[in-house]
């Protein structure tokens, strides 16, 4: 065995070969851009209008929020089919508490979040400590909570919500600079985000270089960051010309950053990957696998509850149909984002991009007036194509 210096080899292979080897990561970004360009063209420019970009975030926030939790569940080697129903149930619970019983919003929201965690805890308990397959436990949960939301709402829609509750979703962050349009805060946030991303990226590169890890060729690093930066600035610029930063966008970004940190940098995140990668080996390494599995479900319950609140706030009513089949969109987003069905691998950023891909397709197809029938078919095919691409690349490597 002769050892080849990886850095040297990378230089020899060049950018093309590097991309080919990391095709999954670049492919995802490329797919998102391609899909956006496609819909931008066929919708005659409607897709990227300020108001529609704002809408895109509002419409997809709940999927993204739940995709964060679902990624952890799937990385841990499980699945949660109940999230759509739980989301609907929590929306119904909020409506009953706030609209019917007249409880203050500040009380109802924490109660809803705690109930969500409780639901996750019960399901997680059966999965983790009784080793009942998560598919079965959460399938049961899906039916139970679908039924319970119908019962809670007595089959009716309940609404509207007070303004303070609606702000969860449809509110905008006021411009600190006191301007109306363009919203300077939005633009400032965009610039800060770009600088932060660049700085983090450069720092990671420096670290990789120190340990001799084969990094992205510098040209590619610049190109990728340029694209991401341009997209970020473009989006914030557009938002600035509508009503500024939606509240929900801010919560999404904060949540995403937190989950990226937890999954990539903390012992907790690392252990979840270990359990998904090989539960027996993880257990024999002193990791409390049951407790971790339990916690991933509690976390999922919490995020499903948050999604339920955001969704109800946006529609301004709770309906018995809310959250119907949403679990499928969430799971699809995670798999499009490159997570593996058998657990142990997958990234938060991938899941978020996967959710955006689903979101842009939903939105674009709705603008085009494509029927729900075709929409389902197309989404299904995109999911299959994404996973096929994964498997194909894995086989090619071996």
Partner 1 sequence: MLLEMRNITKTFPGVKALDDVSLAVREGEIHAICGENGAGKSTLMKVLSGVYPAGSYQGEIVYDGARAEFRDIRDSEERGIIIIHQELALVPLLSIAENIFLGNERGRNGVIDWPETFRQTEGLLAKVGLRETPGARVESLGVGKQQLVEIAKALSKNVRLLILDEPTAALSEADSQALLDLLLGLKAQGVTSIIISHKLNEVRRVADTVTVIRDGATISTTDARGGTLTEDRIVRDMVGRDMAHRFPDRDRRAGDVVFELRNWNVRHPEQRDRRMIRDLSMQVRAGEVVGIAGLMGAGRTELAMSVFGRSYGRDITGEALIHGRPVDLSTVDRAIAAGLAYVTEDRKSLGLILDETIRRNVSLANLDAVATRGVIEEARETEVAETYRQSLRIRTPGVFQKVMNLSGGNQQKVVLAKWLFTEPEVLILDEPTRGIDVGAKYEIYNIINELSAAGKAVVMISSEMPELLGMCDRIHVMNEGCFVGELTAAEASQEAIMSLIVKE
The Cα–Cα gap between 89 and 141 comes to 11
The reply on whether position 373 binds partner 1 by CB under 8 A is no
Among 19, 21, 50, 221, binds partner 1 (CB under 8 A): 21
Residue with tokens 């904060």: 254
The reply on whether position 316 binds partner 1 by CB under 8 A is no
Phi and psi at residue 318, to the nearest 5°: -110, 125
Phi and psi at residue 158, to the nearest 5°: -120, 130
Size of the site for partner 1 (CB under 8 A): 35
The residue (of 18 and 311) whose beta carbon lies closer to partner 1 is 18
The residue (of 163 and 265) whose beta carbon lies closer to partner 1 is 265
Geometric angle at alpha carbon 41, from 38 and 44, rounded to 5°: 145
Which residue stretch of 32-40, 75-83, 274-282, 321-329 sits at the interface with partner 1 (rule: CB under 8 A)? 274-282
**Shortest approach of partner 1 to residue 258 CB, angstroms?**
13
The residue (of 1 and 106) whose beta carbon lies closer to partner 1 is 1
Q: Within positions 214 to 233, which residues make up the interface with partner 1, using CB under 8 A?
A: 214
Among 240, 249, 287, 352, binds partner 1 (CB under 8 A): 287
Render the burial of 290-329: b for 16+ CB within 10 Å, e for the rest: bebbbbbbbbbbbbbbbbbbbbbbbbbbbbbebbeebbbb
The distance from CA 2 to its chain's CA centroid, rounded to whole angstroms, is 43
Among 212, 230, 374, 391, binds partner 1 (CB under 8 A): 212
Give the three-state DSSP class for 158: strand
Q: Within positions 340 to 359, which residues make up the interface with partner 1, using CB under 8 A?
A: 344-345
Give the three-state DSSP class for 44: coil
336 contacts 357 by C-beta, under 8 angstroms? yes
169 contacts 310 by C-beta, under 8 angstroms? yes
Among 268, 325, 381, 384, binds partner 1 (CB under 8 A): 268
Four-CA torsion 111, 117, 118, 119, nearest 10 degrees: 110
The Cα–Cα gap between 92 and 275 comes to 35
The Cα–Cα gap between 310 and 269 comes to 26
Which pair of structure tokens corresponds to residue 381?
């095919």
The residue (of 25 and 214) whose beta carbon lies closer to partner 1 is 214
The reply on whether position 278 binds partner 1 by CB under 8 A is yes
The residue (of 6 and 174) whose beta carbon lies closer to partner 1 is 6
347 contacts 337 by C-beta, under 8 angstroms? yes
Taking the CB of residue 162, how many other CB atoms lie within 10 A of it? 13
The residue (of 278 and 316) whose beta carbon lies closer to partner 1 is 278
The residue (of 18 and 242) whose beta carbon lies closer to partner 1 is 18
Q: Within positions 188 to 207, which residues make up the interface with partner 1, using CB under 8 A?
A: 207
What DSSP character marks residue 251?
Answer: H
**Shortest approach of partner 1 to residue 269 CB, angstroms?**
9
**Shortest approach of partner 1 to residue 128 CB, angstroms?**
15
The reply on whether position 156 binds partner 1 by CB under 8 A is no
The reply on whether position 336 binds partner 1 by CB under 8 A is no
Among 102, 110, 178, 286, binds partner 1 (CB under 8 A): 286
The reply on whether position 145 binds partner 1 by CB under 8 A is no
Which residue stretch of 64-72, 96-104, 260-268, 373-381 sits at the interface with partner 1 (rule: CB under 8 A)? 260-268
User: How many Å from the N-terminal Cα to the C-terminal Cα in the chain?
Assistant: 18
The reply on whether position 271 binds partner 1 by CB under 8 A is yes
The reply on whether position 285 binds partner 1 by CB under 8 A is yes
**Shortest approach of partner 1 to residue 19 CB, angstroms?**
14
**Shortest approach of partner 1 to residue 1 CB, angstroms?**
5
176 contacts 185 by C-beta, under 8 angstroms? yes
Q: Which residues bind partner 1 (CB under 8 A)?
A: 1-6, 9, 21, 207, 210-214, 265-268, 270-271, 273-274, 277-278, 280-288, 344-345
């Amino acid at each position: 065995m002769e050892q080849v210096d990886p850095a040297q080899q990378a230089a020899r292979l060049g950018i093309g070969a590097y991309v080919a080897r990391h095709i999954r990561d670049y492919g995802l970004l490329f797919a998102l851009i391609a899909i956006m360009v496609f819909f931008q063209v066929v919708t005659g420019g409607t897709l990227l209008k300020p108001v529609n970009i704002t809408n895109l975030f509002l419409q997809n926030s709940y999927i993204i929020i739940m995709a964060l939790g679902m990624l952890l569940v799937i990385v841990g080697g499980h699945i949660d089919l109940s999230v759509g129903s739980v989301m609907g149930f929590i929306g119904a619970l909020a409506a009953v508490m706030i609209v019917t019983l007249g409880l203050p919003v500040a009380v109802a929201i924490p109660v809803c979040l705690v109930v969500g965690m409780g639901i996750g805890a019960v399901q997680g308990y059966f999965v983790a400590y009784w080793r009942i397959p998560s598919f079965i436990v959460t399938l049961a949960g899906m039916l139970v909570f679908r039924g319970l939301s119908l019962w809670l709402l007595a089959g009716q829609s309940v609404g509207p919500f007070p303004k303070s509750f609606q702000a969860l979703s449809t509110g905008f962050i006021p411009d600190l600079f006191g301007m109306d349009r363009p919203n300077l805060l939005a633009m400032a946030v965009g610039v800060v985000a770009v600088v932060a991303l660049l700085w983090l990226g450069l720092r990671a590169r420096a670290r990789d270089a120190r340990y001799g890890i084969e990094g992205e060729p510098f040209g590619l690093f610049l190109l990728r960051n340029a694209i991401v930066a341009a997209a970020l600035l473009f989006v914030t610029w557009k938002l600035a010309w509508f009503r500024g930063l939606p509240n929900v966008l801010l919560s999404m970004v904060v949540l995403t950053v937190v989950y990226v940190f937890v999954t990539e940098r903390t012992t907790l995140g690392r252990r979840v990957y270990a359990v998904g990668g090989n539960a027996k080996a993880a257990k024999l390494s002193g990791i409390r696998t049951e407790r971790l599995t339990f916690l991933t479900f509690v976390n999922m319950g919490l995020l499903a509850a948050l999604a339920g609140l955001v969704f109800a706030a946006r529609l301004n009513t709770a309906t018995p149909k809310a959250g119907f089949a949403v679990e499928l969109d969430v799971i699809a987003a995670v798999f499009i984002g490159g997570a593996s069905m058998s657990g142990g691998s997958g990234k938060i950023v991938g899941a978020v991009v996967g959710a955006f891909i689903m979101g842009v397709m939903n939105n674009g197809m709705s603008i085009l007036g494509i029927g729900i029938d075709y929409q389902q078919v197309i989404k299904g095919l995109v999911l299959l194509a994404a996973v096929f691409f994964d498997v194909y690349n894995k086989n090619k490597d071996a």
